[in-house]
Every structure is written in structure tokens, then in C-alpha cells.
Amino acid sequence: MTIQRTDAERDLLRRADRALPQGSLGNMRLDEEYAFIVRQGRGSHVWDVSGNEYVDYLLGSGPMILGHAHPAVIAAVEEAARKGTTFFTQNVYAIELAEAIIDAVPCAEMVRFTTSGTDATFQCLRLARARTGRDKVMKFEGGFHGTHDYAQMSVTPDQPPPYPAPAPSSAGIPQAVADTVLIAPYNDVETAADIIERNRNDLAAVIVEPLQRILEPRPGFLEGLREVTERNGVALVFDEVVTGFRLAYGGAQERYGVVPDMAAFGKIVGGGMPLGAVAGKREFLAAYDASAAPADGHVGQIGTMNGSPVAAAAGLATLKELRAPGIYDAYNATGARLRRSLQTMLDDAGVDATVSGDDVLFDIFFTPQPITDYRSTLTADKRLNAVFNQTLLDRGVFKPAGKVYVGMCHTDADVEQTLAAFEAGVAAVSGQAR
């Protein structure tokens, strides 16, 4: 297909440049030649203002696992909105969604809602500090836990310092914050355990993406973290904003069989609406209860839209669909076909590359080196990713930089179109890699 831009879309892009920093919402901006403005989405497809249609593997950065404008979710949102959009107090939808999360997630004994995954991870760390009386936290290099100050340490360092020293990945972070954050290498349980042991008297929590971006955990890594944190009285926090209800209905905890003390959720749990959640053991979330927690152990947390009835209704409708028999089997089969076919194409073309991640969440690292942690990803040629992604876009397949989000909405026809685009992308990369 030939991608063409209308004058109306070009005008919108110019208006965005004037009104928005870098012309974006802070999430992403394609190169000028490939920039477009989404007009609408339906199912697994999106259309731009110029009328071009794409198979969508961004899916709103993951929350639209059922597809855009899913009828059951839209109906639930419309029904809830007609009853009122916010109340700043308890509502039926939020209570029922909290119960559904508790039923699904192994670590969940109680739930507190937020409006984003960023706030959820931040709240987990604050609860851990309140529970332990310690100040420091440990995260893993390359891990993304949102945009609060603690999360923005060592996300994308070009020249990483020696462990456990952090490197800020944003301007404006106080040194005092950096002094409380320790950094460890993902998938290296020995180094992580050593840092935990040496800092156990000051360390409140270890936060980790169980599947870090698109890096799979090595066998024993998560189990080792659970053992060493438990032995040293350190809270283990899973950031399940991406993995929750995606890797399994019970999230990464169900998939990998490791249960943390707390977990942060977002994306799918809100059904595409602004919603996040902290789920965890009662002993940690009890700090939110001003009537039960000691004065110096109470954690205040207020948000006008916490547990928004409209967002909670969308989440409930989404989770109901995810409980359909066999839905995860079909989902994983679709992802496996895409991921494994792409790796085979790269291998057959003689391109040094690894398709890394999970069957339903993956991307390519163009490097002959094994990919196990953040520093190993720095060996990859990102220029080839850009060539590959642009080739796909030219063929009506929208694969953003960073990862492919496979959805339960992707059809056999989508897969066939995508595999054809993959072949063209591999051919384009093969010509530039040699």
C-alpha cells in the first residue's frame, strides 16, 4: 500500500508542533516522514486523519488487549457515565473491580486505586517505607516504573555507572532522591542478593518488572529475589502495569509462580480508561487506614479520580471478557505464531538478531550478542529497528519502537498481513545489515 498524507493531516501536525512540546503528548512521536494523527480505532485497526488504515500493535501502549471500542467495554462505559462520572466516594463499580482483582491476583488481599501506573508504583514504594521504617529502594537497570523521581533512575543510561550507583534518566531529580535508590542488573540474582544483603538495614523495597520490558526472567531469578527479600525483611514489589492480566489472568505472578508482597497495576485493569491499582498483602495496605495505623505509620493517599466509576466499569467489563474459556490459549497461539515466524525469517536471512520477550509482548534486538539485561541491549543496532518499523508502516502495520503488543483482537487476516510485512522488513534490514 502507499501511505499518503492529506493537507488536513499535515496541518494538524503543524498545529501539534506549535501547541505541544515536540508535537507530542509525551508518549511518542514518529519521524516526520512517518508521523500521523489517529482519527479512530476499531478492533485491531486504527485509521489516521488521511484515511490510511493500519493493523495496530501499539494498542494504546497495551491497555486495549480486547481491541479498540470493544462493544462490551463501550456499553459498560456508557451505562456508568449516564449514572455520573465521579463522586469522590465509594461506588459499586470500584468495589466490584477491587474484588475481581483480589480474586485474580495471588498477592492481592486488599486494593487501593490510583489514576495511573506511575502513581501505583510510587504508592507501593511509599507503603514499603511506611511498613519497614527504611528509606532506600532498589530497582533494576533499564526497568521502567513510570515517571516519578524514584522510577526515573537508570532507565536508559548511555554510560551506566558501577552497581549499585544510579544515573538519573531525567532532569529535575533531586540528589536526595538519587541517594535513596540502588541499582542492580536484571537477571543477575547473585549481584542483586549481594546488594540487598549489604543494605538490608536501610532497604525498604525491591521493585521489579517480572518481565522487564522485553527481557525474560532467567529460571530462578524471580524465585531468588523472593527468597532474599523475605529473608531480610525487604518488601518485594512487582510492577505488573504491563504484565498484569496479559501474561495470564493472574498476571506474571501466576505465570512464573512467584508471589510478591505488593504489585502495581494499570493498562488492562482500567479497560482503556485512566486507572491504576495497588494490590497487596493486608499488612502493607493497612497503612492507608487512618483509624488502624499508628500516627507515624499512616500513609495518606487521595485522588479525585481514584476508582472512577467509569474507569472501573471499563475494567470490570474487560476482566469479564478475559475470563472466557480458552481465551488465553488462543491469545498465546497468535503471539507465538508471530514471534516465532519473525525469528525464523531473521535466521533464514542470516540477520544477527534476537526476538526477545514473551509470545504476546516482544521486539527485535539486532545484535549477535545474547540478550539478558539492559547492558546487553546496548550492543543492538537501533538504526535497523527504525528501518524495519518504517517498512512495516508502509505496508499498513503499525509496530512502534520498543515492543509489539499482541492483542486478543488480532485476527488471522491481521496475522497474514503482518507476516507479509515482516518478510519485507527483514529483506529491508538484510540489505542494510550487510
Asked if pLDDT for residue 433 goes beyond 70, the answer is: no
The rounded percent of the chain whose pLDDT value lies above 70 is 98
Binned at pLDDT 50, 70 and 90, residue 28 comes out as confident
Angle at 17 between CA 14 and CA 21, to 5 degrees: 170
Residues of the chain with CATH 3.40.640.10: 71-322
The pLDDT value recorded for residue 434 is: 54
The pLDDT value recorded for residue 35 is: 82
CATH class of residue range 71-322: alpha beta
Amino acid letter at 62?
G
Is the model more confident about 27 or about 172?
172
What does the pLDDT average to over 278-294? 94
pLDDT tens per residue across span 249-275: 999 999 999 999 999 999 999 999 999
What does the pLDDT average to over 147-176? 96
pLDDT tens per residue across span 307-351: 999 999 999 999 999 999 999 999 999 999 999 999 999 999 999
DSSP letters spanning 109-147? SEEEEESSHHHHHHHHHHHHHHHH---EEEEETT----S
pLDDT tens per residue across span 235-248: 999 999 999 999 99
pLDDT tens per residue across span 127-140: 999 999 999 999 99
pLDDT tens per residue across span 366-425: 999 999 999 999 999 999 999 999 999 999 999 988 899 999 999 999 999 999 999 999
**Separation between Cα atoms, residue 149 and residue 264, nearest integer Å:** 16
Asked if pLDDT for residue 432 goes beyond 90, the answer is: no
**Separation between Cα atoms, residue 188 and residue 169, nearest integer Å:** 22
For the entire predicted model, the pTM comes to 0.96
The rounded percent of the chain whose pLDDT value lies above 90 is 91
DSSP letters spanning 255-302? HH----SEEEE-GGGGTTSS-EEEEE-HHHHGGG-TTTS-GGG-----
Average pLDDT over the chain reads: 95
Q: Where are the beta strands (DSSP E) in 115-260?
A: 136-140, 181-184, 203-208, 235-239
**Separation between Cα atoms, residue 143 and residue 211, nearest integer Å:** 9
Q: How far apart are the first and last CA of the chain?
A: 27
The pLDDT value recorded for residue 89 is: 92
